[in-house]
Structure 1
Amino acid sequence: MTNLNWLQSLQAIARTGSFTRAAEQLGLTQAAVSQHIRQLEDQYGCVVLRSLRPLALTPTGQLLLSYADEITVANECLQQRLQANDSLQGDVGLVTPGSSGLLLYADLLALQLSQPGLIIRHRFAPGAEVQQAVLDNSYHLGVLTFKPDDPRLYAEEIAEEPLELVYPAGYQVREWQDLQRLGFINHPDGKAMATRLLSRHFPGNPGVTTLPCKGYSNQVSLLLQPVALGLGFTVVPRYARQAFAAQDKIAVLQCGQPVIDTLWAIYRAEWPLNARCRLVLERIRSTLNQAAASQIQ
């Protein structure tokens, strides 16, 4: 059997494209990672193309990487089976978009308080990172705004989330010129979301890029603060707006043809969820559905 430490170094190089970053990720010295690769190459021939940046694997390296990934999945399956799957104690890794994550965070803390021994690791990340985190087995559960087509993932529909145009309370938004006077508060997905929603509110509009940009934030928890202060408007998912504390400082433009995204819970398809993961998933579903039913405006 090939040494697992050697294979882990190969996996890290495939992920990072660098001996240095692979060593940092594994908590090893670069010399140790290099030694592992040399030992693989002594046994199987060249596995890493060192002339390329980032580093690339040879066909032999790719075969060894596939073998290493199969071992990783098998080990994770073994751990799942060895754990007391009927226990609600232990770790649950959850990765979500910021909007739904904001709404879920407090309720999941309450769940932890009610279940001593339950530990929820909750990370906010964009969709591509959510999917990869679950594929890498670093998180058990993820929430996406799209249904993945990777056969290694199981996806189930858990909620719907409309996009909302949010502007300062007390302002009037009836025409495109009103948005021009306000200006746009942008965020990483802001222009894409605004383009989708504004086409419903203002058909034939000249586009969000023609609006003056009055601010930017990559933190969804902070995004509505400049709106509340009257600095501009933005377009965000409803759950991000519902999580904002100062609801009296903002307003939502009603849309007869809303843009609605489906939220999907994802997890690895190779094995069933254990009891504590199922508990967290049901709490997520309940929290999101209650928020959708309330439709706080």
Structure 2
Amino acid sequence: MLNPQWLRTFLALRDQGSFTRCAEHLDLTQAAVSQHVRKLEEQLGPLLIRRPRQLELTPAGHALLDYCREVGAADQRLRRKLSEADDTYGEIGLICPGSIGLVLHPMMLALQQENPGLIMRQRFAPDNEILQAVLENRYELGLTALKPDDQRISVSRFTEEPLELVAPASERINSWEDLARIGFIDHPDARAMGSRLLSRYYPGEKGIDSIPSHGFTNQISMILEPVARGLGFTILPRYARLAFQRPDSIQVIDGPVLVKDTLWLIHRSEWPLSSRAKWVIEELSLQVSSL
């Protein structure tokens, strides 16, 4: 790696146009300026053509000038990334379940549009992958339905999310027999969610496995499409239903009790959150609480 002091001298020499003015500008001797240039030229070849009252850069000199500019820009990016002074500059990495992710994604994009210095990086994942990604520092922030018990993880409550029984708007659902008649739209978490919710809504019935499956998808944004087309019902977290673009084609069937999960915000406890991460979480929390 090239000596940073030699690079500063080279930049000053190019800007000042003479060894004398460069030495005065840097509070160095002319001999020191010449030595710095000579050290660079020993590694890179001739950098300057010395003419009376004029210095001209060689092709190697121009290449070194471009390198100096790149180093300077990288230095500024690093300082901005580590700075606590600007909440609206830098990258935010969030990994979360798909349901809350569907709601947060447009909110995060809106924040980025309003603050072009932000870079939003979001991934949907199951709870075990979320925890591992935060532990490995691949994402600064995570949201998970399972509260971690790990001293390396800082945990705080973000919001609560009820489970919902969602059926086609065209169907009248008054009993367990109605659910069995229209069938079930399955997804990777549907049976676990269905067992929890339906045992509260319809105690004493046979359970979710006794209802015929009329479809399956592993894409959370597509689960409600067959429901909207009248092909069956499903069980989903509320935020997935709120993100669906055709709410008039579906209905939520209320039950005697509310079955809900807490979503936990997690990050590494060994170092503090960046100021921009704190600010983004505060903005998202306010918007989610208004839903």
Q: Equivalent residue of 1:221, what SS?
A: helix
CA distance in 2, matches of 1:113, 1:135: 29
Tell me the residue number matched to 2:109: 109
Per the TM alignment, residue 81 of structure 1 is displaced from its structure 2 partner at its CA by: 11
How far did 1:150 drift? 1.1
CA gap of 1:128–1:81, structure 2 versus 1, over 3 A, is farther
Which residue of the partner structure matches residue 172 of structure 1? 172
Structure 1 runs of 4+ aligned residues shifted over 4 Å read 79-82
CA distance in structure 1 between the aligned counterparts of 2:158 and 2:189, rounded to whole angstroms: 22
Larger radius of gyration: 2
Cα deviation, 1:219-260, whole Å, max 9, x if unaligned, reads 110000000000000000000000001000000001221101
- 1:170-223 Cα offsets, whole Å, 9 max, x none, are 211111111111111011100000000001110011011111000111111000
Aligned residues: 213
| Inter-CA distance 145–160: structure 2 relative to 1 (3 Å threshold) | same
In structure 1, the partner of 2:153 is 153
Deviations 1:30-81 (A, max 9, x none): xxxxxxxxxxxxxxxxxxxxxxxxxxxxxxxxxxxxxxxxxxxxxxxxx899
Shift of 1:287: 2.3
Q: TM-score, normalised by structure 1?
A: 0.70
CA distance in 2, matches of 1:274, 1:218: 34
Question: How far did 1:116 drift?
Answer: 1.8
**Alignment partners' CA distance in 2, 1:82 and 1:249:** 45
SS for the counterpart of 1:108 is helix
Task: Verify: 1:249 aligned to 2:249, yes or no.
Answer: yes
What residue is the counterpart of 1:269 in the other structure?
269
SS of 2:116's equivalent in the other structure is coil
Give, in whole Å, the separation in 2 of the partners of 1:123 and 1:274: 19
Q: How does 1:11-26 map to 2 (within 5 A)?
A: none
Using the alignment, how far apart are the partners of 2:155 and 2:80 within structure 1? 22
Which amino acid in structure 2 is aligned with residue 127 of structure 1?
D
- Which residue number in structure 1 is paired with residue 129 of structure 2? 129
- After TM superposition, the structure 1 = structure 2 runs for residues 1-297 of structure 1, keeping only pairs within 5 Å, are 83-87=82-86, 88-291=88-291
RMSD in angstroms over aligned alpha carbons? 1.5
Give yes or no for contact 2:81–2:89 (8 Å, CA) kept in 1: no
The answer on whether the counterparts of 2:170 and 2:230 sit within 8 Å (CA) in structure 1 is no
Unpaired segments ≥5 residues, structure 2: 1-77
Alpha-carbon shift at residue 283 of structure 1 (Å): 2.1
Give the residue type in structure 2 aligned to 1:238. R
Cα offset for 1:82? 7.7
User: What amino acid is aligned across from residue 249 of structure 1 in structure 2?
Assistant: S
Identity of aligned residues (%): 49
* Residues 241 and 280 (structure 1), Cα distance of their counterparts in 2 relative to 1, 3 Å cut: same
The CA distance in 1 between the partners of 2:147 and 2:127, in whole Å, is: 10
- Give the distance between the partners of 1:225 and 1:255, measured in 2 at CA: 23
What TM-score comes out, normalization by structure 2 length? 0.71
Tell me, yes or no, if the aligned pair for 1:80 and 1:274 is still in contact at 8 Å.
no
Please tell me whether the aligned partners of residues 86 and 274 of structure 1 are also in contact (alpha carbons under 8 angstroms). Answer: no
- SS where residue 123 of structure 2 aligns? strand
The one-character-per-residue Cα deviations of 1:84-103 (angstroms, maximum 9, x if unpaired) are 12222111110010000001
Q: Deviation per CA, 1:133-172: give whole Å up to 9, x if none.
A: 1011000000111211011111110111000000000211
Contact 1:108-1:283 at 8 Å conserved across structures: no
Q: Which amino acid aligns with 2:276?
A: R
Distance 2:258 2:271 in 1: 37
- Counterpart residue type for residue 143 of structure 1: L
